[in-house]
Amino acid sequence: MTARATLPHPQRAMSPPRSSGDAQRDRARLILVALLLAFMLIAGQLVRLALKAPPDVKLSLAEPMAKSWSRPDIIDRHGRLLATDVASHSLYADPQLVQDVDEAIEKLTVALPGLDATELRKTLSDKSRRFAWVARGLTPRQAQEVHVLGLPGLALRTEPKRVYPLGRLTGHVLGTVNTDNRGIAGIERMLDDTNRVEAVQGPARATAEPVRLSLDLGVQHALTEELKQACVRYAAAAAAGVVLDAGSGEILGAASLPEADPARPMDWLDGQRADKLAGGTFELGSIFKLVTVAMALEAGIADLDRVYDVREPLVAGSYVIKDPYPQGRPLSVREIFLHSSNVGAGMMALEAGAERQRAFLERLGLTEPARTEAGPVAAPQLPKHWGRIETITVGYGHGLAVAPLQFAAAVASLVNGGLKVTPTLLAGSQTAARPERVISVATSAKLREVMRLNVTNAQGTGRHADADGYRVGGKTGTAEMAGRGGYREKSVISSFAGAFPMDAPRYVVLVLLFEPQTGEGRGQHITAGANAAPTTARVVERIAPLVGVLPRLEPAAPWPRPASAPPDAPSPAQ
């Protein structure tokens, strides 16, 4: 039997064998499918979490490094440096990196004895913080001592620090800054308010131009030194003074004793060191008769030769107003000014009337708050009721309290020809706008006449203010200081408000001595003619050459009187 050959299946014969490439493609597809499924699961989870509203969201942020502030230089009118920034070292901590708090406190309080151990422990133990100041404004020696300790979590940073090369000399004007170099008082505060400071990280200097003040360092130094000597000479508790440009209102010198150190911000919390020129108001006494006489002349109520019968005191209700040194005869307006007659000033004020008196004070800027670039000036304290007695007492400088700086500006307006003056601490800051006229040129000339006569005449209360060759004129004032239950008879503010040279006044000088105990030559007179007036003469003799006023000798004004009147006396209380 013949064997039969077996034939292959037709389909099997047509299928080629599987290669290794096919297997790899299959595996890739499986991996791709798996990845797609995984991404879909992740996307689904993200959508689920996004749709779910958690009750609270917590963020973990690194605490930023504290900023410091770079400030422009401050210079006087001649470019001399008053304030600047220097690079200073400060110590900070990252409490989370501090390993041994006790060791850090022990070593740091030895290197920096001023640190408070309790506060330092509280700072370094607060692990929720990443940045905290430990000490600011270290000296190079202190910074080196801290550096060699090598304490973990503590580091030094260089930042700008404000320094004042002249110390206390211009303290009240400049103001002060806090530990972050931000201004908190005076001109320094003004720089922040006008956006002249720059936020910095590190000791970068300000790019702004220096701020030029109206102050003249020579004038400032002379004024301050003479006030200090006056406090010693007359045993005064405090003093203040200002030198003002009579035309522009620029302040060339401003001093208040005791002084405040701009490097010590705590001085601005000390009431004894408060700025008496702009930060307080006082009843200034008889220097206010400048205003009363100017008002009477301007209103046409009187002229310099008009005579008033001042032999009898003025009576207003239960109050009796007398002259401390009555002359026993009628006095002309000139003589009322020379003898500082309270009765005469009161009579002129009554003739003007309360409404006209208040309007004139308002025209001079003495009834509304004022301000300078260093900040607001203390607001005037006016009578609540302006009746007969208030009209009289305001006429001779009581019953109304104003800041001395504000009154100095009013004096400048009266003597410069009658144009209103606004005090300023910035050099060349006055605009070209036409100033307001407060009195006529003729009234200003008459007022200057009696101011000069008050210094040159033997009868004048301001005769000790005469500075040879500089033609000083002005008015004395001695006002009893208010206390609990009334005025204190032996505690006075003695003052002299003057100008020079009186033929064409360029500068106004206001000097105040608080509670002087003696007068010139250690005499027992505590009145302004015996202490504030001679202090003004010394100030003028020192500053006149600095501001370009040359001396000119002239004969004394011929206006003799047989008797010599005492220096100005304090006005009696209401």
Cα 429 to Cα 262: distance, rounded to the nearest angstrom:
24
Cα 526 to Cα 569: distance, rounded to the nearest angstrom:
8
Q: Is the pLDDT of residue 261 over 80?
A: yes
269 confidence band (pLDDT: 50, 70, 90): very high
- The top-scoring range by mean pLDDT among 13-22, 58-67, 152-161, 197-206 is 152-161
Beta-carbon count within 10 A of 387 CB: 11
Is position 444 annotated as part of the catalytic site? Answer: no
Beta-bridged to residue 160, according to DSSP, are 87
SS (H, E, C) 408-476: HHHHHHHHCCCECCCCECECCCCCCCCCCECCCHHHHHHHHHHHHHHHHCCCCCCHHHCCCCCCCEEEE
Query: Which pLDDT does position 394 carry in this prediction?
Result: 96
Cα 495 to Cα 462: distance, rounded to the nearest angstrom:
10
Residue-wise pLDDT for 505-545, tens only, equals 999 999 999 999 999 877 778 999 999 999 999 999 999 99
Instruction: Give the burial string for 442-480 (b: 16+ CB within 10 Å, else e).
Output: ebbebbbbbbbbbbbbebbbbbbbbbebbbbbbbbbbbb
Q: In the chain, where does the domain assigned CATH 3.90.1310.10 lie?
A: 68-96+130-212
The set of residues, in sequence order, having a beta carbon less than 8 Å from that of 279 and lying 6+ positions away, is 172, 256, 377, 378, 403
Question: Over the Cα atoms of the chain, what is R_g?
Answer: 39
Average pLDDT value over all residues in the chain: 88
Cα 547 to Cα 119: distance, rounded to the nearest angstrom:
53
Q: Is the pLDDT of residue 574 over 50?
A: no
Query: Which pLDDT does position 560 carry in this prediction?
Result: 47
What one-letter code names the amino acid at 429? S
Secondary-structure breakdown of the chain: helix, strand, coil percentages, each rounded to the nearest 5: 35, 20, 40
Query: Which pLDDT does position 569 carry in this prediction?
Result: 52
Q: In the chain, where does the domain assigned CATH 3.40.710.10 lie?
A: 218-547
Q: What is the mean pLDDT of residues 235-249?
A: 96
Q: What is the mean pLDDT of residues 323-339?
A: 93
CATH number, domain 68-96+130-212:
3.90.1310.10
Residue-wise pLDDT for 426-435, tens only, equals 998 765 567 8
Element of type H or E holding 347: helix 342-352
Find out whether the peptide bond into 16 is cis, omega within 30 degrees of 0.
no
1 confidence band (pLDDT: 50, 70, 90): very low
The two beta strands, 473-483 and 331-332, are unpaired
Cα 83 to Cα 75: distance, rounded to the nearest angstrom:
7
Residue-wise pLDDT for 275-313, tens only, equals 999 999 999 999 999 999 999 999 999 999 999 999 999
Query: Which pLDDT does position 451 carry in this prediction?
Result: 97
Helical H runs in 125-251?
Answer: 140-149, 171-174, 186-193, 217-233
Query: Which pLDDT does position 18 carry in this prediction?
Result: 57
Helical H runs in 60-208?
Answer: 101-111, 117-124, 140-149, 171-174, 186-193
Find out whether the peptide bond into 423 is cis, omega within 30 degrees of 0.
no
Q: Is the pLDDT of residue 81 over 80?
A: yes
Beta-bridged to residue 486, according to DSSP, are 483
Q: How far is residue 321 from each of residues 313, 328, 386, 398, 496, measured CA to CA in Å?
A: 5, 15, 17, 12, 23
Query: Which pLDDT does position 485 carry in this prediction?
Result: 64
15 confidence band (pLDDT: 50, 70, 90): low
Does residue 286 contact residue 477 with C-beta atoms inside 8 Å?
yes
Query: Which pLDDT does position 556 carry in this prediction?
Result: 54
Q: Is the pLDDT of residue 559 over 70?
A: no
The set of residues, in sequence order, having a beta carbon less than 8 Å from that of 526 and lying 6+ positions away, is 234, 478, 490, 492, 494, 516, 517, 518, 519
Q: How far is residue 103 from each of residues 113, 120, 156, measured CA to CA in Å?
A: 15, 12, 18
185 confidence band (pLDDT: 50, 70, 90): very high
Does residue 130 contact residue 64 with C-beta atoms inside 8 Å?
no
3-state secondary structure of 232: helix
Query: Which pLDDT does position 197 carry in this prediction?
Result: 92
Instruction: Read off the tokens for 357.
Output: 């008196």
Q: How far is residue 525 from each of residues 50, 351, 499, 517, 536, measured CA to CA in Å?
A: 89, 33, 24, 8, 17
462 confidence band (pLDDT: 50, 70, 90): very high
Q: What is the mean pLDDT of residues 149-157?
A: 92
**CATH among 3.30.1280.10, 3.40.1190.20, 3.40.710.10, 3.40.50.300 for 218-547:** 3.40.710.10
Per-residue DSSP letter, 384: S
Give phi and psi for 557, each to the nearest 5: -65, 125
The set of residues, in sequence order, having a beta carbon less than 8 Å from that of 401 and lying 6+ positions away, is 281, 282, 283, 284, 380, 381
3-state secondary structure of 376: strand
Q: Is the pLDDT of residue 202 over 70?
A: yes
Q: Say which of 286, 341, 413, 495 is annotated catalytic.
A: 286
Q: What is the mean pLDDT of residues 329-336?
A: 96
Tally of CA atoms within 13 A in the half-sphere of 210 that contains its CB: 17
Query: Which pLDDT does position 490 carry in this prediction?
Result: 76
Q: Is the pLDDT of residue 396 over 50?
A: yes
